[in-house]
Structure 1
Amino acid sequence: MRALFMFCLVLIAQSLFAQLTLQGKVIDSATGQPLANVSVFISNTSAGTTTKQDGSFSLSIPQGTYQIVFSYIGYTTKTFTTNTISNSFHIGLSPAENRLADVVLMPFEKDGWARWGKFFTDLFIGTTDEALQCIIQNTKTIRFRQDKKNKTLQAVAFEPLIITNKALGYKIQYQLEEFTYDFNNKYLFYQGYPLFMEMQGSRHKQKHWQEKRREVYEGSQMHFMRSLYRNTLMQEGFDVFRMLKTENEEKKRIKQALRYGPIPKDSSAYYENILAEPDEKSIIYSGRLTGDSIAFGINDITAGFQFDNYLYINYNKKKVPDAFLRSFPKSTANMASEITLLEKVILQVEANGNFHPQLALLNTGYWGWSEKISRILPFDYTYGR
């Protein structure tokens, strides 16, 4: 069976090299006039182009499920998945009137970047060592508004963000569609479409970037998904365990008791220790999971990935970077992450590590810190390059 499985993988790998050519034309949906210089690209890859004066474009796309993004300043971004479109088609873009209407309902803060710039950068770019070498070149396009009633912060960009990542050697064009932070639940939600462009540099710089990309890749979520697809989790260094989280009943009891009176002096140390514990307790089950125990084949190029509750994932081939321990000094040095599905769906995973729906998967632990713009790689990244 193992030999048959490997043979199937070879066939699948060969099919992935097949390229399709997507051709079409982009017009203004209201006037019917062609739109030139519209950015057309495969999200989270280095494949992209722009429309010509007559609105036409041609783009080579690999076999698989990807998001094709059509982005133009002043117009609403449109996306399509490659399995829902034909090789040749027309698309109409509409002016972004809804966003302008929102500005009237809730105006942006004056000097918003001065107040929220670092907060935004830490959440979006990250607090990694690589983040220190990331620069958003057009910060003036980012505006902020705070909803004090609902205790949320929203960031809006009226043009694609241009980000230079000197640590990994990429220039990133990022179409930010939504960025909202919930202060009550300390939950960040952001969505966007990045296009990666290779930076030019000396042979020494190119070698350095290759080494840094490989370092970032090892133990990343992309590495995990690719290993899951190939059923090589253990061989690649991933220890995966089922995990259950339950409410911390003792902490809940103490919180309720404090509503009716102060902490008893003879119990103050105990109370303080319990209150310092997390709201939930984690139970990690013994027995490492293999890829074929949580994933299965959907078709020739897609694997299904589904699980209940949580998965605890530790990459055992190296420890976390020092920057992670500076951000979370009480954490262990293990490169451990926890994932859960926000909705009961089957994730569709492809050979390059791409998976969807991406918004259904929530990362905490190491990946919650590391999977930021400063450390993400394009899905067409090749290991070691």
Structure 2
Amino acid sequence: MKSLLFFILLLACYVVQAQQTITLSGTIKDKNGEPLPGTGVYVSDYKIATSTDDKGRYALRLKAGNYNILVQLLGFKATNKNVVINNQPVNLNFTLEQSETQLSDVTIKPDPNRLHYLNTFKTYFIGLTENAQKCKMLNSEILRFDYDNEKRTLTVQSDEFLIIENKALGYKIKYLVKEFQYDYKTRIVYYEGYPNYEDLPGTDNQKKKWAIRRSEAYNGSSQHFFSALFNNTIKEEGFIINKLIRNQVQENLADSIIQAQVGGFTSTLLTLPGTHQFGSPKTTNTAVTVSKPKQSKGFAALNRAEILTDTLVHRYNDQIKKIDFTNVLYVIYTKERESSGFKARIGMPVNRPSELNNTQISLINMTSPPAYFYKNGSVYNPRAMLYEGYWAWEKIADSVPMDYIPPGK
């Protein structure tokens, strides 16, 4: 009886610790020190948000982890700060500057190419998956398009949240587009911004359908993979890790493209239709895509021996783990089949053995080791990795917030 009681007490202590949250608070003022009531305070990539009171104060309850905090108020420049939450309350203050762009100063010029630019943005930002077909941008007029005819690059920015209604997953996504750039010559796309998620209102039947689709979107994703990697439940969750060995010619080519095009960006490389795509976790919501060379004469050998997580994953501290490896990780997800649209639209499915036909396969390239990641699947330094394959195919339309909890967990 004493042993049973002791076990129950231990379990109760564990539940309390697992649910423990820490207070993040502060004040938001203008440059004259005046408080700014009604300022929106958003946790990027989560379903967490609040607003300041009449004295410009805010407070959020967060679990231990690394967060991007975004604040925005109409008439002021949006700003963000990164904060690490451990086991002590954190005070984080903001000073907002007034926006230099005044409505009276704006001259709206009709652009006959705007629709074309908008379609390009939708393709490379929201995506082309089945879920993307059920996404709608509610205020695309806030997007500013700038096309450089000489460089043949399209740049898109916004000073306000782009509102995306995702009726496939039941989310309203507020996304502040810091920068989106597409190069028509090199077919490289780069984007960076800060998303926040809200649940759409719906009937009980709609919510049940959304729950199923959210689970499908999460299952097999990079977020799911790194969460399983942290918890050492890779095989139970349906993942198999092999190693892909490429020849040095291909490796040098990829490195040279990245160094030439990415520069100092904190970047993520994604696969786009008709291109060779790399990708990294969406936690920073930054992306760069590199076109596939027209004639690649290199070879790649797949080692089907399973890589054990004990040799791949190393503890950094209680909240963070890290990975470092050579060559390329070949990640197989066995519990879902790949979308028919993946092969049809992307034009270049990942090479695979015949027994893995229609299996979701993603590749992880290590560029700046090591990569650090958290229990919820978020990655501290996404620039450390580049993705290819299925993880690069799914974009904003197939994303779920970082505080998403899969059914049964």
| TM-score computed with the length of structure 2 as normaliser | 0.77
Kept in 1, the 8 Å contact 2:23–2:89? The answer is no
- Kindly indicate whether residue 239 of structure 2 is the aligned counterpart of residue 214 of structure 1: no
2:139 aligned residue: 138
1:362 aligned residue: 386
Amino acid paired to 2:371: L
Q: Which has the larger radius of gyration?
A: 1
Determine the C-alpha separation between the residues in 2 that align with 1:366 and 1:134.
20
Q: Give the secondary-structure state (helix, strand or coil) at the position aligned to 2:330.
A: strand
Kept in 2, the 8 Å contact 1:27–1:93? The answer is yes
Q: Which of the residues 322, 327, 336 maps onto 2:361?
A: 336
Amino acid paired to 2:374: E
2:335 aligned residue: 317
1:22 aligned residue: 24
For residues 123-144 of structure 1, the C-alpha deviation after alignment (integer angstroms, 9 at most, x for no partner) is 1111010011111111001111
1:271 aligned residue: none
Q: Give the secondary-structure state (helix, strand or coil) at the position aligned to 1:289.
A: coil
Determine the C-alpha separation between the residues in 2 that align with 1:108 and 1:300.
55
Kept in 1, the 8 Å contact 2:22–2:85? The answer is no
Determine the C-alpha separation between the residues in 2 that align with 1:309 and 1:185.
25
Q: Give the secondary-structure state (helix, strand or coil) at the position aligned to 2:299.
A: strand
Amino acid paired to 2:94: I
Kept in 1, the 8 Å contact 2:30–2:95? The answer is yes
Q: Return 5+ residue gaps in structure 1 as ranges.
A: 1-8, 253-274
For residues 316-359 of structure 1, the C-alpha deviation after alignment (integer angstroms, 9 at most, x for no partner) is 222111221221355352211112233x2322211111111123
Which stretch of structure 1 is more off in the superposition, 313-322 or 282-291?
Answer: 282-291
Displacement of 1:60 in angstroms is 1.2
1:265 aligned residue: none
Q: Describe how 1:1-385 pairs up with structure 2 within 5 A.
A: 15-29=17-31, 31-73=32-74, 74-83=76-85, 87-97=90-100, 110-246=111-247, 278=296, 280-329=298-347, 331=349, 333-342=358-367, 344-370=368-394, 372-384=395-407
CA 1:149 to 1:360, structure 2 compared with 1: closer, same or farther past 3 Å?
farther
Kept in 2, the 8 Å contact 1:113–1:142? The answer is no
Determine the C-alpha separation between the residues in 1 that align with 2:370 and 2:249.
29
Determine the C-alpha separation between the residues in 2 that align with 1:170 and 1:78.
23
How high is the sequence identity, in percent, across the aligned residues?
28
Determine the C-alpha separation between the residues in 2 that align with 1:282 and 1:94.
52
Determine the C-alpha separation between the residues in 2 that align with 1:334 and 1:167.
23
Kept in 2, the 8 Å contact 1:38–1:72? The answer is yes
Displacement of 1:146 in angstroms is 2.0
CA 1:244 to 1:178, structure 2 compared with 1: closer, same or farther past 3 Å?
farther
Kept in 1, the 8 Å contact 2:64–2:85? The answer is no
Displacement of 1:27 in angstroms is 0.9
Amino acid paired to 2:83: T
CA 1:293 to 1:183, structure 2 compared with 1: closer, same or farther past 3 Å?
farther
Amino acid paired to 1:79: K
Which stretch of structure 1 is more off in the superposition, 137-146 or 177-186?
Answer: 177-186
Q: How many residues align?
A: 346
Determine the C-alpha separation between the residues in 2 that align with 1:276 and 1:77.
41
Determine the C-alpha separation between the residues in 1 that align with 2:15 and 2:341.
36
Kept in 1, the 8 Å contact 2:323–2:371? The answer is yes
